[in-house]
């Protein structure tokens, strides 16, 4: 197989599984090392460069990085990446003076952002330091979008949102609160903006039109609207018996909110068995810890209303046939069941809705009323109008919205500088050796066998007393100090120079996890079966060298479970292996060569 082209920026980036999985490509191992050194502000800034809201995300991120974490393949549980982010945010010092400076002299370009959610805020964060004048229009009297109105304060305190939004708004953003955009035409024609970013989210909760829906309407609520009313304190109580329909993350927030509004019995009703649930495992655990009952195989049939008052719901009891690959092949109704309820909350999904965008502006929508948006540039079919966050491709999560914001900001910058929006700086990687001297490496390469630490929670007795008591307390100092040691430093890469190798086998013999093999070359499928430990995880690359000098064999490294201990490099007599830190350069608007009028790069101090 051809020697691996490690100059391709994706190669080493992929080795850092968490960074690759993070939509915003946060340099996770770097910030974890900074936390280990007690450099919390630096760790915060490394985060902020990529994900903009480390304090928020350190509490509520969907954390796609954690299932990807290599530690989860080496032992059972991944590193608590997300909770360590919170450690950085909780312990940071003043950081605002280290954000990129915003020029007093503006570049004369005006940008409108619709909605003050995380997507629009990211656009403002990226464009303000380049001299743009950014106006954000928000229909509500507060900024933050769903982070504010839907994610309950017992998971995400308002003060954390306030601080991170202020860091952006205080750059000089013109935030127009209580200002709903009712007509896109008007904004485009009269607003005088050079570009418009639509970050209005996916605000429409899905309906469940079953018999009794109208009659029982007073006690049947749409989940996201209901949560919003709680956030704005329009709703302060709920009945004793509550049924939640649906088992996604919104359902989890609804059931836990119900308990805090006085419900005595809360059941989450799922149509299918647990392996088909959409909610994250940790959200399910948190709900179950609070005695929420999750009932499987119940398909809603009708709302039961007596004398104009909701009494409960009728369900079909379901049975499923599942094939070897875990897919449902058939379903049967085996019985009917009535469950009493004072209130029912529908948490079965959200959709985009753009009643305020006229359909003759050149902004095209598909047959599901979803806007046609370029997945890379985020531009709509009308030049100068961009979509991001939940508004672009339907509901996702905060970290995706942030990355959309970054990408849209690049496009807006290109657009305003009269450059093609598709012309974007490609990603890159820098490498730097971590060798300090004999047996000395400038990273902590000792493997720590310690197990994942558990975040302490407020006791079950205390937490329901008020609706905004944050349940998670965050790691203690001791826990954080232990947890950081679990990170394998996957960004400290094993880099091989075939010219130097004398084929002594030292690296192969010392590697604790049998990653390395010297063997006659072959195609990838064949090589994978001939390694010291068969390389069965095909999502992980083989690092194949050029032919070796003495025998013409190749050095093959299976990246899968390398613990980055550095022993191969430590043992190599000729330094054919070296341990080198990779810096993934994931470009943002400030990095574009579009000759930023007043460019200031946002670089965390290292």
Partner 1 sequence: MTYIPKPKIAHPSLPRNELGLTRRDYEGSLSTLCAGCGHDSITAAIIEASWGISLRPENLVKLSGIGCSSKTTAYFVGGAHGFNSVHGRMPSIAMGANAANRDLYYIGISGDGDSLSIGLGQFCHAIRRNLDMLYIIENNGVYGLTKGQFSASADIGTKAKKGEVNQQPPIDPVLLAMNLGAGFVARSFSGDKKQLVPLIQAGLEYPGFALIDVLSPCVTFNDHEGSTKSYQFTREHYEPVVEADFVPFQREISTDYGAGEAVPVMLHDGSRVVLRKLAEDYDPTDAHAAYDYVQQHIAKGEYLTGLLHCRPTTDTEFHALNRTPEQPLNQLPFGKLVPGAKALDKVLARYR
Ligand X SMILES: Cc1cc2nc3c(=O)[nH]c(=O)nc-3n(C[C@H](O)[C@H](O)[C@H](O)COP(=O)(O)OP(=O)(O)OC[C@H]3O[C@@H](n4cnc5c(N)ncnc54)[C@H](O)[C@@H]3O)c2cc1C
**Binding-site partner at residue 564 among ligand X, ligand SF4, partner 1, none, CB < 5 to 8 Å by type:** ligand SF4
Q: Which of 513, 533, 598, 600 forms a contact with ligand SF4 (CB under 6 A)?
A: 513
Tell me the C-alpha distance between 400 and 460, whole Å: 33
If residue 113 lies in a helix (H) or strand (E), which one and from where to where?
Answer: strand 110-114
When asked if residue 542 is in the footprint of ligand SF4 (CB under 6 A), the reply is no
When asked if residue 312 is in the footprint of ligand SF4 (CB under 6 A), the reply is no
Closest CB 575 distance from partner 1, rounded Å: 10
Estimate to the nearest angstrom the gap between the alpha carbon of 233 and the chain centroid. 28
Lookup: tokens for 511: 């590697």
**Binding-site partner at residue 408 among partner 1, ligand SF4, ligand X, none, CB < 5 to 8 Å by type:** none
When asked if residue 145 is in the footprint of ligand X (CB under 6 A), the reply is yes
Q: Which of 98, 110, 571, 585 forms a contact with partner 1 (CB under 8 A)?
A: 571
Q: Which of 24, 79, 102, 118 forms a contact with ligand X (CB under 6 A)?
A: 118
Q: Which of 325, 439, 461, 465 forms a contact with partner 1 (CB under 8 A)?
A: 439
What's the Rg (C-alpha) of the chain? Answer: 27
Residues in the chain: 606
Sequential DSSP letters for 352-369: ---TTS-TTSS--B-TTS
When asked if residue 60 is in the footprint of ligand X (CB under 6 A), the reply is yes
When asked if residue 563 is in the footprint of ligand SF4 (CB under 6 A), the reply is yes
Is the CB of 118 or the CB of 563 nearer to ligand X?
118
Tell me the C-alpha distance between 90 and 157, whole Å: 12
Tell me the C-alpha distance between 561 and 559, whole Å: 6
Centre a 10 Å sphere on the Cβ of residue 234 and count the other Cβ atoms it contains: 9
Closest CB 73 distance from partner 1, rounded Å: 7
Is the CB of 456 or the CB of 512 nearer to ligand SF4?
512
Query: x/- string (CB under 6 A) for ligand X, residues 400-439?
Result: -x--------------------------------------
- Stretch of 56-64, 94-102, 522-530, 570-578 lying at the interface with partner 1 (CB under 8 A): 570-578
Q: Each residue of 186-218: b (16+ CB within 10 Å) or e?
A: ebbeeeebbbbbbbbbbbbbeeeeeebbebbee
Give just the sign of the alpha carbon dihedral 531, 533, 536, 542: negative
**Cβ contact 296:273 at 8 Å:** yes
Residues 434, 437, 441, 447, Cα dihedral to 10°? 140
Give just the sign of the alpha carbon dihedral 33, 37, 42, 44: positive
When asked if residue 499 is in the footprint of partner 1 (CB under 8 A), the reply is no
When asked if residue 437 is in the footprint of partner 1 (CB under 8 A), the reply is no
**Binding-site partner at residue 446 among partner 1, ligand X, ligand SF4, none, CB < 5 to 8 Å by type:** partner 1
Burial class of residue 468, CB neighbours in 10 A (0-12, 13-18, 19+): middle
When asked if residue 1 is in the footprint of ligand SF4 (CB under 6 A), the reply is no
When asked if residue 535 is in the footprint of ligand SF4 (CB under 6 A), the reply is no
Q: Is 570 helix (H, G, I), strand (E, B) or coil?
A: helix
When asked if residue 556 is in the footprint of ligand SF4 (CB under 6 A), the reply is no
When asked if residue 504 is in the footprint of ligand SF4 (CB under 6 A), the reply is yes
When asked if residue 503 is in the footprint of ligand SF4 (CB under 6 A), the reply is yes
Which residues, 20 to 49, sit near ligand X by CB under 6 A?
none
Which residues, 478 to 537, sit near ligand X by CB under 6 A?
none
Tell me the C-alpha distance between 543 and 561, whole Å: 13
Tell me the C-alpha distance between 483 and 498, whole Å: 36
Q: Which residues bind partner 1 (CB under 8 A)?
A: 73-75, 439, 445-447, 449, 502-506, 508-510, 512-515, 533-534, 536, 550-551, 561, 563, 565-567, 570-574
Q: Which residues bind ligand SF4 (CB under 6 A)?
A: 494, 501-507, 510-513, 515-516, 557, 562-568, 571-574, 576-577
Q: Which residues bind ligand X (CB under 6 A)?
A: 60-62, 114-120, 137-140, 145-147, 150-151, 180-181, 199-201, 203, 224, 227, 249-250, 253, 356, 389-391, 395-399, 401
């Amino acid at each position: 197989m051809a020697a691996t082209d490690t100059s391709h920026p994706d190669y080493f980036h992929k080795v850092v599984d968490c960074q690759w999985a993070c939509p915003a490509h946060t340099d996770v191992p770097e910030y974890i090392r900074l936390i280990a050194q007690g450099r919390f502000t630096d760790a915060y800034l490394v985060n902020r460069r990529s994900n903009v809201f480390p304090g928020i995300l350190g509490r509520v991120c969907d954390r796609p990085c954690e299932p990807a974490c290599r530690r989860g393949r080496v032992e059972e549980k991944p590193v608590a990446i997300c909770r360590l982010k919170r450690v950085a945010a909780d312990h940071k010092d003043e950081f605002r003076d280290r954000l990129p400076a915003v020029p007093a002299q503006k570049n004369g370009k005006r940008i409108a952002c619709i909605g003050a959610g995380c997507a629009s805020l990211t656009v403002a964060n990226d464009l303000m330091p380049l001299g743009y004048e950014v106006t954000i229009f928000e229909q509500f009297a507060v900024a933050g979008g769903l982070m504010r109105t839907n994610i309950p304060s017992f998971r995400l305190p308002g003060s954390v949102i306030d601080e991170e939004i202020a860091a952006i708004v205080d750059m000089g953003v013109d935030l127009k609160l209580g200002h709903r955009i009712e007509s896109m035409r008007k904004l485009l024609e009269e607003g005088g903006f050079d570009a418009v970013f639509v970050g209005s989210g996916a605000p429409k909760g899905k309906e469940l039109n079953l018999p009794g829906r109208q009659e029982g309407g007073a006690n049947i609520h749409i989940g996201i609207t209901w949560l919003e009313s709680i956030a704005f304190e329009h709703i302060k109580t709920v009945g004793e018996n509550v049924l939640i329909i649906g088992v996604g993350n919104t359902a989890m927030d609804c059931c836990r909110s119900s308990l805090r509004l006085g419900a005595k019995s809360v059941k989450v009703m799922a149509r299918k068995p647990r392996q088909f649930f959409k909610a994250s495992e940790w959200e399910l655990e948190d709900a179950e810890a609070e005695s929420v009952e999750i009932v499987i195989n119940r398909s809603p049939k009708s709302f039961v209303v007596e004398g104009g008052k909701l009494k409960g719901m009728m369900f079909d009891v379901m049975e499923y046939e599942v094939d070897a690959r875990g897919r449902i092949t058939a379903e049967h109704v085996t019985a009917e069941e009535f469950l009493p309820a004072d209130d029912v909350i529908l948490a079965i999904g959200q959709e985009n809705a753009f009643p305020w965008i006229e359909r003759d502006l050149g902004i095209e929508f598909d047959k599901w009323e979803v806007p046609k948006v370029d997945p890379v540039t985020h531009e709509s079919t009308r030049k100068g109008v961009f979509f991001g966050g939940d508004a672009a491709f339907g509901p996702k999560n905060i970290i995706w919205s942030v990355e959309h914001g970054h990408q849209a900001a690049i496009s807006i910058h290109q657009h305003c500088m009269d450059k093609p929006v598709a012309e974007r700086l490609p990603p890159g990687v820098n490498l730097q050796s971590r060798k300090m001297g004999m047996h000395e490496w400038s990273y902590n390469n000792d493997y720590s066998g310690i197990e994942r630490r558990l975040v302490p929670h407020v006791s079950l007795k205390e937490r329901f007393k008020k609706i905004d008591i944050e349940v998670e307390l965050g790691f203690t100092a001791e826990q954080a100090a232990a947890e950081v040691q679990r990170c394998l430093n996957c960004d400290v890469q094993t880099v091989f120079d075939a010219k130097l190798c004398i084929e002594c086998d030292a690296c192969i013999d010392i590697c604790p996890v049998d990653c390395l093999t010297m063997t006659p070359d072959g195609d990838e499928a064949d090589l994978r079966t001939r390694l010291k430990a068969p390389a069965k995880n095909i999502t992980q690359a083989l690092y194949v060298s050029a032919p070796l000098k003495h025998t013409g064999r190749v050095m093959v490294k299976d990246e899968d479970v390398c613990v980055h201990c550095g022993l191969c490099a430590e043992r190599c007599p000729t330094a054919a292996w070296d341990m080198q830190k990779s810096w993934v350069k994931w470009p943002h608007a400030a990095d574009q060569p579009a000759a930023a009028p007043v460019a200031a790069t946002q670089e965390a101090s290292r």
